[in-house]
Chain A
Amino acid sequence: MHQIKHAEFLAPDVKKFVIHAPKIASKRKAGQFVIIRISEHGERIPLTIADSNSEEGTITIIVQGVGKTTKAINSLNTGDHFLDVVGPLGKASHIENFGTAVSIGGGVGTAIAFPTAVALKQAGNKTISIIGGRNKELVILENEMRHVVDEVYITTDDGSYGSKGLVTDKLKELIESGEKIDFVLAIGPIPMMRAVAETTRPYGIQTVVSLNPVMVDGTGMCGGCRATVDNKTVFVCVDGPEFDAHKVDFELLMKRNRTYIIEEKTSMHEYECKLEKAIEDVKKN
């Protein structure tokens, strides 16, 4: 059991949890993830470690409520517990002084990009961050990022904050302005990561993405998280989660992530029905 030391919403449906997990806090490196289960009937889901504090013995994860499990996680509050937290899993980000490094986060992807941005800065890179969101409310970790990196740019789809447009518009603008970019890290929805890969490809800029396939054990045991990179099958949990963006088969990843789309709807429907019933029961009493 892992107690939640602190929980707060950063944006609608996006919640930050600081969890007691001293062993993982002392071990984890940027880019690694944990697998979490919240109840005996719950599924195991992978979540990237956004931050840690080895003195306090805590790790931070940021969860976007999209399905039953993530919404159930987001109903937890300070003082509640996670049943299982296992990690750190996966390979750490490859960090070196590339020169100028741009980290791009789309939506909750910013939370995943954050620790690597910190590590890139510590390695001596000039660091630029592009934070994207559909609208102002969904732009997260701006202040945290401003504390760490040299330049921060915000883009929103609707123009409600920062510049109107996509993260790739800003990236292209930076490249074309003559900024010499040596390394790009892009984390967010698959279409965004694919668009970043296509933006940097013609310029030959080294680009890394963090993949988010369906997982079960997270230790290489089941192979459910396989993806195709450079025409070879990889197990994202042990070979990744970070890969060369120019070699990832994003189309396949997107299709595989739709494997349980019907079951996800069933789960969500049942969850909402239960919630509604619970609310009605409360009202009756």
Chain B
Amino acid sequence: MHEISKKDRMKIPRQPMPEQPGSERMKNFKEVNLGFTEELAKLEALRCIQCPKPVCIEGCPVGVKIQEFIQLVADGDFLGAAAKIKEDNVLPAICGRVCPQEEQCEIKCVIGKKGEPVAIGRLERFVADYERETVGIRTPEVKPKTGKKVAIVGSGPAGLSCAGDLIQMGHDVTVFEALHDIGGVLIYGIPEFRLPKTIVKAEVDALTALGVEFKTNAIIGMTDTVNELMENGYDAVFLAVGAGLPYFMNIPGENLNGVYSANEFLTRVNLMKAYRFPEYDTPVFNVKDKNVAVFGGGNTAMDAVRTSKRLGAKNAYIIYRRSEVEMPARKEEVHHAKEEGIEFILLTNPLEFIGDENGWLKAVKLQKMELGEPDASGRRRPVPIQGSEYILDIDMTVIAIGNGSNPIIQKTTPDLQFDKWGNILVDQNSMKTSKKGVFAGGDIVTGGATVILAMGAGRTASKAIDEFLKNSETW
């Protein structure tokens, strides 16, 4: 197989991801994508022409040695490929599922200039799943103990990637998590059908096996403050608390029953398993045969609307104020949503939620928009069309327009500097904050972004923390 010429390699089409059919999967919470078989993976790996200067790596926030692991896949050394990925990425099964590869590594892929890029994400997922399912996740070597202790606040992607790096460098690592389960947005936010919780658990367990200590139910700022962590023997602190304060739209009727933030709706369903009520005690609005509208155009909006469909909604709408081109959601998610029967109402904005006398949501007043001049984000600004208002009957709505920063750390850490939105100010190269010994990364620095960007920030911080622990005089 290795003798195959570059030309022949380029003739192999991009291998599609096997998936549950749309009609089937909208009735269950099982994973949509089924993953490559060994044959598909090898075939797809052969499409990589092994560039001498692989540009794909430039697109990866954690710098996975992409062409090397893909060569190992082509050679059939799947475990070797897994080890290669894990030199740079401690959560490959998660990243292989939820990273927007099409905007990162795959957009750089040379093969993609003429045809479709190598399916790097699908291969990463295959390799991680292969290892876990055959021999179990193998842990990399850990350097001798340094005697230094690091506190990581938040167990989402930024915290986990930082923890994985620091433990391998020989430092003691404790991760503090506010909720009762580990994983942050990977657990409460991203649904089971896109990222099974057993996979998050397996990758977290691998970190535990490396020696990372996890403390749940610990809200830093309340249970302990940042200063108390430092007084209690932690030599450095990494704040990776995420963007945990949902935005609402400030329109009338937003406090009616049946109006959820995406965080609440998804937390009830994912973390608290409300989709299995009453087997699990936490309920969520019963959408069976009801109409649901989700406002927003990002991945979270897609997660929420697809979840509502699986819970039995008759009609599930995405309502977005711009057009499909401007939607921040991954194309794959939009495509999957459409396959599952989600209706897209574009260039439309809500003006008011209308309720009944008992305070239950019954309808929403909408207004049509048209695209005007580009705004600060570079996307064309939606402008209301006067006289286009109409009423849509809905029983439940989810507002998925993003998150602000949670105020708890800010209120309890007076000597830390924040910007006007409440995001922590850091030096981008080191993730150092204004407070000596304290680093920050992920959504609490950038505002709501992606899993892999948060992991990249965790990785950048781990290097700077390691240097700081070796020489803590300078800041």
Contacts and interface: CB of A to CB of B under 8 A. Distances in A.
B33 interface: no
Nearest to A42: B281
A228 B255 contact: yes
Interface string A247-285: 000001001101110111011001000000000000000
B261 A223 contact: yes
Contact of B217 (A43, A86, A252): A86
A255 B246 CA distance: 22
Contacts of B178: 86, 217, 219, 221
A263 B216 CA distance: 28
B388 interface: no
B147 interface: no
B407 A238 contact: yes
A242 to B, nearest CB: 16
Interface in B317-360: 358-359
A164 B261 CA distance: 45
A27 B283 contact: no
B223 interface: yes
A222 B180 contact: no
A41 interface: yes
Give the dominant DSSP class at B's interface. Answer: loop
Contact of A69 (B245, B258, B263, B281): B281
A87 B264 contact: no
B272 A266 contact: no
B278 A267 contact: yes
Interface in B145-199: 178-180, 188
A86 B177 CA distance: 11
A23 interface: yes
Contacts of B286: 262-263
A284 B289 CA distance: 43
Interface in B199-245: 216-219, 222-224, 244-245
A88 interface: yes
A256 B359 contact: yes
A263 B277 contact: yes
A226 to B, nearest CB: 6
A267 B283 contact: yes
B392 interface: no
Interface in B281-322: 281-283, 285-286
B39 interface: no
A222 B188 CA distance: 10
Contact of B246 (A27, A86, A89, A223): A223
B14 interface: no
Interface string A233-245: 1010010000000
A255 B277 CA distance: 22
Given A68-B281, A86-B178, A221-B246, A216 B264 contact: yes
A24 interface: yes
A237 to B, nearest CB: 10
A131 interface: no
Contact of A220 (B272, B273, B285, B407): B407
A225 to B, nearest CB: 9
Give the dominant DSSP class at A's interface. Answer: mixed
A44 interface: yes
Interface residues of B, number: 42
Interface in B337-389: 358-359
Contacts of B219: 86-87, 89, 219
B174 to A, nearest CB: 14
Nearest to A259: B257
B273 to A, nearest CB: 8
Contacts of B272: 43-44, 216
B97 to A, nearest CB: 23
Contacts, number: 117
Contacts of A165: none
A252 B408 contact: no
A216 B255 contact: no
A84 interface: yes
B150 to A, nearest CB: 20
A85 interface: yes
B278 A266 contact: yes
A82 to B, nearest CB: 11
Nearest to A249: B255
B133 interface: no
A27 B248 CA distance: 32
Given A219-B408, A223-B246, A23 B224 contact: yes
Given A43-B272, A238-B408, A221 B267 contact: yes
Interface in A80-109: 83-89
Contacts of A85: 217
Contact of B245 (A221, A233, A252, A262): A221
B223 A263 contact: no
B421 interface: no
Nearest to A225: B264
B254 interface: yes
Contact of B281 (A24, A43, A84): A43
B254 A219 contact: no
B423 to A, nearest CB: 15
B209 to A, nearest CB: 22
A219 B258 CA distance: 21
Pairs A-B, 5 closest by C-beta atoms: A255-B359, A263-B283, A222-B264, A86-B217, A221-B244
Given A223-B264, A263-B283, A263-B286, 9 more contacts: A41-B279, A43-B272, A43-B282, A86-B180, A216-B272, A221-B406, A252-B255, A259-B258, A263-B277
23 contacts: A27-B222, A43-B280, A43-B281, A44-B180, A69-B281, A89-B219, A219-B406, A221-B406, A222-B263, A222-B264, A222-B267, A223-B245, A223-B248, A224-B261, A226-B255, A228-B255, A255-B358, A256-B257, A259-B258, A262-B286, A263-B277, A266-B277, A267-B277
Interface of A: 23-24, 27, 37, 41-44, 68-69, 83-89, 216-217, 219-224, 226-228, 233, 235, 238, 252, 255-256, 258-260, 262-264, 266-267, 270
